[in-house]
Amino acid sequence: MNFKGRDVISIEDFSREEIDYILKNSESMESIALKGSKILEGKILATMFFEPSTRTRLSFEAAMLKLGGSTIGFADADITSVRKGENLSDTIRTIENYADIIALRHPLEGSAKLAAEFSRVPILNAGSGADEHPTQAFMDLYTIKKEKGKIDGLKIALVGDLRYGRTVHSLAYALSLYNIELYLISPESLRMRKEVFRSIKDRISIIQDENLEKVIPQIDVLYITRIQKERFPDPTEYYKMKGVYKIDLNTLKTGKNDLIILHPLPRIDEISSEVDYTPQAKYFQQVWNGIVVRMALLSLVLAT
């Protein structure tokens, strides 16, 4: 399978076979992540982050360094010439001269696609507005596979802000390629985006509900997201939704013993800190998995 030079814009651009290949490749990065390598020596990753990030930017950078490559970039567009009015396409046509690959996070939907149209070097979508976060979906799938030994046959709940949460959009697209039961748990006003729902509804069995307690006993994987405050056009609507779902030790009592809890992070108040010390909590393991998955993506796209 050849990924050389390929952009990673939407998870919808990947077949199940390609996703499985990337997950397999990520597995082989586990030992390389511990000892380091020179696979990408001489290559440069540029991280262009127009929105805040802790995990995505730093894990892309760590992944590149662990493969022997180098990184350049910015985490605050206000200290770049964007501040002087430079547009995204000119910024991309500049940075492609300095780097072999670009990881881009931008508040506008369609930004990664637009960047890829201008760029001579591959673009990795590190989050495009409320639309998609495909590399997060690869690490979410990898975490499920690693923890449960499989993806097919599982009952998986996506919980919280399914309207504005980009990670759940990419993950829902990807999960629809597997033989799973998908539970979409959210308040009515934060239901899964129509275009995502329409795209996946004929491929898998979907149960939509507002009531998390009702579904907890049935599920194998609980993937909860924060309510995306920064995407709400009206802040009062955010405050109505804030704290709508909360996982605590009582919640876990009604779930299966081998239920796993995932969260793309950052967490606000969706998971009580006492849950962090239970065997069900896998969200910090998910963070590590972000490194190996991004190592796999970088090495496949930059294959020498």
Neighbours of 210 (CB within 10 A): 13
How far apart are CB 146 and ligand CP at their closest, in Å?
17
Which of 10, 47, 56, 176: binder of ligand CP (CB under 6 A)? 56
CA distance 228 to 237: 11
Candidates 51-59, 83-91, 146-154, 275-283; binding stretch for ligand CP (CB under 6 A):
51-59
How far apart are CB 34 and ligand CP at their closest, in Å?
22
Is 56 annotated as catalytic? yes
How far apart are CB 130 and ligand CP at their closest, in Å?
12
Which of 10, 26, 53, 71: binder of ligand CP (CB under 6 A)? 53
List 84, 120, 194, 253, catalytic entry: 84
Q: Partners of 159 in the beta sheet?
A: 185, 224
Question: According to the binding rule CB under 6 A, does residue 55 interact with ligand CP?
Answer: yes
For ligand CP (CB under 6 A), the number of binding residues is 10
Question: According to the binding rule CB under 6 A, does residue 285 interact with ligand CP?
Answer: no
Q: Distance of CA 221 to CAs 48, 130, 132, 217, 232, Å?
A: 32, 23, 21, 11, 27
Instruction: Give, to the nearest 10 degrees, the angle between helix 283-301 and helix 134-148.
Output: 120
Closer CB to ligand CP, 96 or 132, in the complex: 132
Which of 111, 136, 186, 299: binder of ligand CP (CB under 6 A)? 136
Candidates 66-74, 76-84, 87-95, 260-268; binding stretch for ligand CP (CB under 6 A):
260-268
Among 10, 20, 29, CA closest to 1: 20
Question: According to the binding rule CB under 6 A, does residue 11 interact with ligand CP?
Answer: no
* 3-class secondary structure, 303: coil
CA distance 3 to 7: 9
CA distance 28 to 22: 10
Candidates 30-38, 48-56, 89-97, 241-249; binding stretch for ligand CP (CB under 6 A):
48-56
Is 55 annotated as catalytic? yes
Distant-in-sequence contacts of 263-266, Cβ < 8 A, 24+ apart? 263/223, 263/224, 263/225, 263/226, 264/55, 264/133, 264/136, 264/140, 264/165, 264/167, 264/225, 265/54, 265/55, 266/54, 266/226
Closer CB to ligand CP, 55 or 240, in the complex: 55
Q: Which residues are catalytic?
A: 55-56, 84, 105, 133
**Residues that bind ligand CP in the complex, under the rule CB under 6 A:** 53-56, 127, 133, 136, 264-266
